[in-house]
Amino acid sequence: MPPKVRVTKEQIIAAGLELAREAGSEAINARAVARKLDCSTQPVFSNYAAMEALQADVRRAAEAVYGECMAQAARRRDCPPYKAIGLAYIGFARREPELFRWLFMRDRSGEAVPDEREENAPVIRLIRELTGLDEDRAWLFHLEMWIFVHGVGAMLATGYVDWDEALVSDMLTDMFQGLRARFGVGKEGP
């Protein structure tokens, strides 16, 4: 009778995710995962012939954590939807600095670049509804806003600043209103 499997692939991924949260993606290796699971490295190597495959699965798990954060933002009713997206991104950076750095602050040279317009089509539609801008100008509006949002997130994730959500919320409103003025959009809206 074969021995009962004690450590599952899901447990290995969860342990890798814990390591990434605690010390960054560089901390993910067979020994560290085995230590986290209180087992030998054998179950890790039984499931993963290469650490790159484990890293990829753990990154997908980190992306799922981020995705849930964005899904929660979509359900918020206490602020406008576009602002909720920005606050969620920044909140993720604050709560999960190591995952934020791994997902959004790594060297991406050599990676396939997604079609940003297609990936952000729902957000661009939302901006068009809020502002009345055409697609190209709504895209530029979003890029400028997102540079600001990412910058705040990066400063929080790296410990450069420690701003509370109220201040960040006011700053997002100011930036949004400033872009509305720059793009010649009226006063109504968020």
Over residues 26-76, the pLDDT tens digits come to 999 999 999 999 999 999 999 999 999 999 999 999 999 999 999 999 899
Q: How many domains does the chain have?
A: 2
CATH number at residue 42: 1.10.10
Does residue 6 lie in a domain region? yes
Does residue 12 lie in a domain region? yes
Last residue of a domain, one of 14, 36, 60: 60
Asked if residue 135 lies in contact with residue 53, where contact means CB atoms within 8 angstroms, the answer is no
115 and 43 in one domain? Answer: no
134 and 55 in one domain? Answer: no
80 and 56 in one domain? Answer: no
147 and 185 in one domain? Answer: yes
Last residue of a domain, one of 13, 33, 60: 60
54 and 86 in one domain? Answer: no
Provide the domain limits for residue 104.
76-190
Does residue 69 lie in a domain region? no
What tens digit of pLDDT does each residue of 126-157 get? Answer: 999 999 999 999 999 999 999 999 999 999 99
28 and 113 in one domain? Answer: no
Does residue 68 lie in a domain region? no
pTM of the full structure: 0.90
C-beta pairs of 76-85 under 8 Å, 24+ apart in sequence: 79/169, 79/190, 80/130, 80/189, 80/190, 81/126, 82/123, 82/126, 82/127, 82/130, 82/176, 82/190, 83/169, 83/172, 83/173, 83/176, 83/190, 85/123
161 and 122 in one domain? Answer: yes
176 and 91 in one domain? Answer: yes
Does residue 105 lie in a domain region? yes
Does residue 129 lie in a domain region? yes
Name the average pLDDT for the chain. 93
